[in-house]
Amino acid sequence: MIVIDKDNIGQEVDYEAGCVFLVDKPLDWTSFDVVNKIRFALRSLYGRKKFKVGHNGTLDPLASGLLMIFVGKYTKLIPHEENHDKKYESIIKLGATTESLDREMEEIELKPYDHVDLQSIEEEAQKFLGESTQEIPAYSAAKINGRAMYKLARAGKEFKPKSKQVIIHTVDVKSYDAPFIGLDLLCGKGTYVRAFARDIGQKLNTSAYLYALRRTEISNYSVEKALTIDDICKSINKDN
Protein backbone atom coordinates (compact mmCIF):
# COMPACT_ATOMS: atom_id res chain seq x y z
CA MET A 1 0.00 0.00 0.00
CA ILE A 2 1.40 3.38 -1.02
CA VAL A 3 1.23 5.72 1.98
CA ILE A 4 2.21 9.39 1.57
CA ASP A 5 3.61 11.02 4.70
CA LYS A 6 6.39 13.41 5.75
CA ASP A 7 9.04 10.95 4.59
CA ASN A 8 7.98 10.81 0.95
CA ILE A 9 5.77 13.83 0.22
CA GLY A 10 6.54 15.14 -3.26
CA GLN A 11 7.23 11.80 -4.92
CA GLU A 12 5.48 11.03 -8.18
CA VAL A 13 2.15 9.34 -7.56
CA ASP A 14 -0.53 7.96 -9.84
CA TYR A 15 -3.49 9.21 -7.82
CA GLU A 16 -5.95 7.37 -10.05
CA ALA A 17 -4.22 4.06 -9.26
CA GLY A 18 -4.45 5.12 -5.64
CA CYS A 19 -2.59 6.05 -2.46
CA VAL A 20 -3.24 6.92 1.16
CA PHE A 21 -2.44 10.31 2.68
CA LEU A 22 -1.67 10.56 6.39
CA VAL A 23 -3.32 13.82 7.47
CA ASP A 24 -3.09 15.75 10.73
CA LYS A 25 -6.65 17.09 10.91
CA PRO A 26 -6.85 20.51 12.56
CA LEU A 27 -9.47 21.55 15.09
CA ASP A 28 -12.84 22.75 13.77
CA TRP A 29 -12.54 20.85 10.48
CA THR A 30 -14.91 17.97 9.86
CA SER A 31 -13.49 14.80 8.36
CA PHE A 32 -15.60 15.56 5.28
CA ASP A 33 -13.96 19.02 5.03
CA VAL A 34 -10.59 17.28 4.71
CA VAL A 35 -11.91 14.83 2.11
CA ASN A 36 -13.53 17.63 0.14
CA LYS A 37 -10.40 19.81 0.14
CA ILE A 38 -8.22 16.99 -1.18
CA ARG A 39 -10.89 15.91 -3.67
CA PHE A 40 -11.07 19.45 -5.04
CA ALA A 41 -7.29 19.49 -5.60
CA LEU A 42 -7.43 16.13 -7.40
CA ARG A 43 -10.40 17.16 -9.54
CA SER A 44 -8.45 20.25 -10.58
CA LEU A 45 -5.37 18.16 -11.36
CA TYR A 46 -7.28 15.74 -13.60
CA GLY A 47 -9.76 18.27 -14.95
CA ARG A 48 -12.85 16.26 -14.08
CA LYS A 49 -15.97 16.74 -11.99
CA LYS A 50 -15.57 13.59 -9.89
CA PHE A 51 -12.68 11.89 -8.13
CA LYS A 52 -12.95 9.17 -5.50
CA VAL A 53 -11.71 10.18 -2.04
CA GLY A 54 -12.66 8.77 1.38
CA HIS A 55 -11.40 8.02 4.89
CA ASN A 56 -11.45 5.05 7.26
CA GLY A 57 -12.48 6.67 10.53
CA THR A 58 -14.27 9.92 11.35
CA LEU A 59 -12.85 12.51 13.73
CA ASP A 60 -15.25 15.01 15.31
CA PRO A 61 -14.67 18.70 14.49
CA LEU A 62 -13.49 19.35 18.07
CA ALA A 63 -10.86 16.61 17.78
CA SER A 64 -7.54 16.85 15.98
CA GLY A 65 -5.06 14.29 14.77
CA LEU A 66 -4.57 11.41 12.40
CA LEU A 67 -6.86 10.77 9.44
CA MET A 68 -6.08 8.27 6.69
CA ILE A 69 -7.37 9.61 3.38
CA PHE A 70 -7.78 7.08 0.55
CA VAL A 71 -7.82 8.29 -3.06
CA GLY A 72 -8.48 6.76 -6.47
CA LYS A 73 -8.76 2.98 -6.60
CA TYR A 74 -7.55 2.78 -3.00
CA THR A 75 -11.04 3.82 -1.86
CA LYS A 76 -11.98 0.18 -2.47
CA LEU A 77 -9.67 -0.72 0.43
CA ILE A 78 -11.61 1.33 2.99
CA PRO A 79 -13.94 -1.51 4.14
CA HIS A 80 -10.83 -3.59 4.86
CA GLU A 81 -9.05 -0.73 6.63
CA GLU A 82 -11.76 0.25 9.10
CA ASN A 83 -11.09 -2.29 11.84
CA HIS A 84 -7.78 -0.93 13.10
CA ASP A 85 -7.09 -0.09 16.72
CA LYS A 86 -6.71 3.63 17.39
CA LYS A 87 -4.84 5.58 20.05
CA TYR A 88 -5.95 8.90 21.51
CA GLU A 89 -4.67 11.59 23.84
CA SER A 90 -7.58 13.05 25.77
CA ILE A 91 -8.48 15.57 28.43
CA ILE A 92 -11.62 14.87 30.45
CA LYS A 93 -13.25 17.51 32.62
CA LEU A 94 -14.98 16.44 35.83
CA GLY A 95 -17.86 18.17 37.60
CA ALA A 96 -20.02 18.93 34.57
CA THR A 97 -21.22 17.43 31.32
CA THR A 98 -22.86 18.61 28.10
CA GLU A 99 -25.56 17.16 25.86
CA SER A 100 -22.98 16.44 23.18
CA LEU A 101 -20.46 15.08 25.74
CA ASP A 102 -17.82 17.51 24.42
CA ARG A 103 -17.23 21.28 24.31
CA GLU A 104 -19.73 21.88 21.51
CA MET A 105 -22.54 22.64 23.97
CA GLU A 106 -23.05 24.42 27.29
CA GLU A 107 -22.14 22.72 30.56
CA ILE A 108 -24.98 21.10 32.51
CA GLU A 109 -25.31 18.75 35.51
CA LEU A 110 -22.76 20.52 37.69
CA LYS A 111 -21.66 18.11 40.43
CA PRO A 112 -18.95 18.06 43.12
CA TYR A 113 -15.70 16.28 42.34
CA ASP A 114 -13.58 17.13 45.40
CA HIS A 115 -13.77 13.47 46.51
CA VAL A 116 -11.87 12.36 43.39
CA ASP A 117 -8.13 11.77 43.50
CA LEU A 118 -5.52 10.32 41.15
CA GLN A 119 -5.66 6.87 42.75
CA SER A 120 -9.43 6.57 42.35
CA ILE A 121 -9.16 7.67 38.72
CA GLU A 122 -6.50 5.06 37.99
CA GLU A 123 -8.50 2.33 39.72
CA GLU A 124 -11.73 3.11 37.87
CA ALA A 125 -9.97 3.55 34.52
CA GLN A 126 -8.59 0.01 34.64
CA LYS A 127 -12.12 -1.37 35.02
CA PHE A 128 -12.85 -0.34 31.43
CA LEU A 129 -10.25 -2.68 29.96
CA GLY A 130 -11.53 -5.41 27.67
CA GLU A 131 -14.89 -5.72 25.94
CA SER A 132 -17.92 -3.85 27.22
CA THR A 133 -21.25 -2.41 26.09
CA GLN A 134 -21.08 1.32 25.43
CA GLU A 135 -24.10 3.58 25.00
CA ILE A 136 -23.55 5.61 21.84
CA PRO A 137 -23.71 9.41 22.39
CA ALA A 138 -27.03 10.89 21.35
CA TYR A 139 -25.15 13.45 19.25
CA SER A 140 -23.59 10.97 16.83
CA ALA A 141 -24.09 9.78 13.27
CA ALA A 142 -25.40 6.37 14.36
CA LYS A 143 -28.86 5.84 12.90
CA ILE A 144 -32.24 4.91 14.36
CA ASN A 145 -34.83 3.92 11.75
CA GLY A 146 -32.67 5.45 9.06
CA ARG A 147 -32.16 8.82 10.76
CA ALA A 148 -28.91 9.96 12.37
CA MET A 149 -29.26 10.28 16.13
CA TYR A 150 -27.74 13.76 16.16
CA LYS A 151 -30.48 14.96 13.80
CA LEU A 152 -33.14 13.52 16.09
CA ALA A 153 -31.45 15.10 19.12
CA ARG A 154 -31.19 18.52 17.49
CA ALA A 155 -34.86 18.30 16.52
CA GLY A 156 -35.79 17.64 20.15
CA LYS A 157 -37.07 14.13 19.43
CA GLU A 158 -37.10 11.62 22.27
CA PHE A 159 -35.40 8.30 21.59
CA LYS A 160 -33.40 5.61 23.31
CA PRO A 161 -29.76 5.82 22.19
CA LYS A 162 -28.23 2.72 20.69
CA SER A 163 -25.52 0.68 22.40
CA LYS A 164 -22.62 -1.26 20.91
CA GLN A 165 -19.85 -3.62 21.90
CA VAL A 166 -16.46 -1.95 22.11
CA ILE A 167 -13.01 -2.96 23.29
CA ILE A 168 -10.48 -0.89 25.19
CA HIS A 169 -6.94 -2.28 25.24
CA THR A 170 -5.11 0.21 27.46
CA VAL A 171 -5.90 3.28 29.55
CA ASP A 172 -2.91 5.30 30.71
CA VAL A 173 -3.77 8.05 33.19
CA LYS A 174 -1.13 10.75 32.60
CA SER A 175 -2.22 13.50 34.98
CA TYR A 176 -4.92 14.88 37.26
CA ASP A 177 -5.05 18.65 37.72
CA ALA A 178 -8.58 18.98 39.09
CA PRO A 179 -10.97 19.10 37.38
CA PHE A 180 -8.97 17.89 34.36
CA ILE A 181 -7.84 14.30 33.75
CA GLY A 182 -5.23 13.66 31.10
CA LEU A 183 -5.20 10.11 29.73
CA ASP A 184 -4.21 8.06 26.70
CA LEU A 185 -6.58 5.45 25.33
CA LEU A 186 -5.89 2.55 22.96
CA CYS A 187 -9.18 1.12 21.72
CA GLY A 188 -10.85 -0.86 18.97
CA LYS A 189 -13.03 0.25 16.08
CA GLY A 190 -16.07 2.36 16.88
CA THR A 191 -15.20 3.29 20.46
CA TYR A 192 -16.56 6.70 21.43
CA VAL A 193 -14.10 8.52 23.68
CA ARG A 194 -16.89 10.98 24.51
CA ALA A 195 -18.89 8.07 25.92
CA PHE A 196 -15.85 6.85 27.84
CA ALA A 197 -15.54 10.32 29.41
CA ARG A 198 -19.20 10.25 30.45
CA ASP A 199 -18.90 6.73 31.85
CA ILE A 200 -15.74 7.27 33.89
CA GLY A 201 -17.38 10.35 35.40
CA GLN A 202 -20.29 8.18 36.51
CA LYS A 203 -17.88 5.61 37.99
CA LEU A 204 -16.26 8.43 39.96
CA ASN A 205 -19.68 9.57 41.27
CA THR A 206 -19.63 12.86 39.42
CA SER A 207 -20.30 14.15 35.90
CA ALA A 208 -17.73 14.47 33.13
CA TYR A 209 -17.26 15.26 29.47
CA LEU A 210 -14.55 15.16 26.82
CA TYR A 211 -12.69 18.48 26.91
CA ALA A 212 -10.04 17.77 24.24
CA LEU A 213 -9.10 14.88 21.97
CA ARG A 214 -6.24 14.09 19.63
CA ARG A 215 -5.87 10.86 17.65
CA THR A 216 -2.21 9.88 17.60
CA GLU A 217 -2.21 6.44 15.97
CA ILE A 218 -4.20 4.22 13.61
CA SER A 219 -2.75 0.72 13.57
CA ASN A 220 1.00 1.25 13.11
CA TYR A 221 0.62 4.71 11.53
CA SER A 222 1.49 7.75 13.67
CA VAL A 223 0.39 11.37 13.55
CA GLU A 224 4.06 12.29 13.94
CA LYS A 225 4.50 11.51 10.23
CA ALA A 226 1.19 13.03 9.13
CA LEU A 227 0.95 15.96 6.74
CA THR A 228 -1.00 19.19 6.89
CA ILE A 229 -3.83 19.64 4.43
CA ASP A 230 -1.94 22.53 2.83
CA ASP A 231 1.15 20.36 2.32
CA ILE A 232 -0.94 17.74 0.52
CA CYS A 233 -2.77 20.21 -1.69
CA LYS A 234 0.48 21.99 -2.62
CA SER A 235 2.01 18.62 -3.55
CA ILE A 236 -0.97 17.76 -5.74
CA ASN A 237 -1.13 21.21 -7.34
CA LYS A 238 2.57 21.17 -8.33
CA ASP A 239 1.59 18.51 -10.89
CA ASN A 240 -0.82 20.90 -12.61
Whether 114 is catalytic is: no
Cis check for the bond before 179: say yes or no (omega within 30 of 0).
yes
Task: Write out pLDDT tens, residues 25-66.
Answer: 999 999 999 999 999 999 998 988 899 999 988 898 899 999
Task: Write out pLDDT tens, residues 179-224.
Answer: 999 999 999 998 999 999 999 999 999 999 999 999 999 999 999 9
Identify the helix (H) or strand (E) that includes residue 239: none
Domains along the chain with CATH numbers: 3-82+220-237 (3.30.70), 86-218 (3.30.2350.10)
Active-site hit among 5, 7, 28, 60: 60
* Spatial CB neighbours of 116, under 8 Å, sequence gap ≥ 6: 94, 176, 178, 204, 206
- The 3-class SS string of 171-200 reads EEEEEEECCEEEEEEEECCCCCHHHHHHHH
Conformation bin of residue 156: beta by default, left when phi > 0, alpha when psi is -120 to 50: left
